[in-house]
Amino acid sequence: MKKILLACGAGVVTSTAAMNKLQEELDARGISQDEYKLGQSSVAEVEALSGQYDMAITTTQYDNDAIKIPVINGLPLLTNIGVDTVIDKVVDELDLK
Amino acid sequence: MEVTQRNLIFSKVDSKNSNEIIHYLAEKLFKAGKVNKDFEQAVKERERVYPTGLPIGDIPVAIPHTDVKYVKQSAIAIAILKNPVEFHNMAKNDESINVKIVVMLAMKEPHSQVDMLQKLMKMFQNQDLLTKISNLDDNDEIYEIVSKQID
């Protein structure tokens, strides 16, 4: 079970939209929902929560060397521009099947 | 209660910068009883740290918002700008985007307006629709289009 954290500025609006899009895209690729779990937070909480997750996807700019898990930019999940690249990264990085 | 309201949609708004348009929409939301008086300041501060400009094609949109604690009743306020104003790119703080449509989100519950958000994002991706909206100067007409997409 891989855990993915979706984070945005407030942890309310854009991460919700991004999370649903991610779910939809992973479903479309036939990846079982038993393979992963999604969580949501503000970017301010990412560092504290990173130990409990395998990957973080942020819709805002986020640079933090203290984070040991992969962090990818999730804005395409909102804009739909380049969304396949994001899904490819998630699937490859976490080896989802 | 529908989230979009006729009296919270404004066309041909003349604003010089992002702060001005945030003030404009936040004041409208406050006067409509949707948010408390600290909402505006909170949105401005949030926008400085976590900008909300979405690079989404020819008609970029900004979605300024803040913590749910400043909101009394969920609503969105929409402004079509007479002239575009600069917002910073959500994903790259040092990049700015010329925004033509500003959608201020006042959300009462965290994670609750999922459906509405999805529809909003879908609407933003429909650039033909945005082009149409951005050229309208009749608030009612804009309301009819937007509410059909969202409510």
Q: What is the pLDDT of residues A11-63, one digit of tens each?
A: 777 888 899 899 999 999 999 999 999 999 999 999 999 999 999 999 988 88
For residue B113, the model assigns a pLDDT of 65
pLDDT along chain B (151 residues), means of 10: 84 96 98 97 94 89 92 94 95 91 88 72 89 91 90 74
Residue B109 CA to its chain's centroid (Å) = 17
Residue A41 CA to its chain's centroid (Å) = 11
Minimal C-alpha gap between A35 and chain B (Å):
23
Minimal C-alpha gap between A68 and chain B (Å):
20
Catalytic residue list contains A96: no
**What would the two tokens of residue B47 be?**
């926008």
Minimal C-alpha gap between B6 and chain A (Å):
23
Angle at A5 between CA A97 and CA B103, to 5 degrees: 115
Return the H-helix or E-strand segment holding B48: helix B39-49
- Rounded to whole angstroms, the Cα distance separating A50 from A66 reads 10
CA distances from A34 to A1, A30, A31, A66 (A): 7, 11, 8, 29
Q: Is the pLDDT of residue A77 over 60?
A: yes
Residue A76's domain spans which residues?
A: 2-94
How many structural domains is chain B composed of?
1
Interface test with B, best of A40, A57, A77, A78 (most B CBs within 10 A): A78
Q: Is B88 helix (H, G, I), strand (E, B) or coil?
A: strand
What CATH number has the domain bearing residue A46? 3.40.50.2300
Residue B58's domain spans which residues?
A: 4-150
For residue B118, the model assigns a pLDDT of 77
What CATH number has the domain bearing residue B132? 3.40.930.10
pTM above 0.90, yes or no: no
- What residues in A contact B51, CB-CB < 8 Å? 60
Calculated CA dihedral for residues B46, B49, B55, B56, nearest 10 degrees: -30
For residue B1, the model assigns a pLDDT of 56
* Tens digit of each residue's pLDDT (9 = 90 or more) over B63-88: 999 888 999 999 999 999 999 999 99
For residue B111, the model assigns a pLDDT of 63
How many structural domains is chain A composed of?
1
Q: Which of A9, A12, A61 sits opposite B111 (nearest CB)?
A: A12
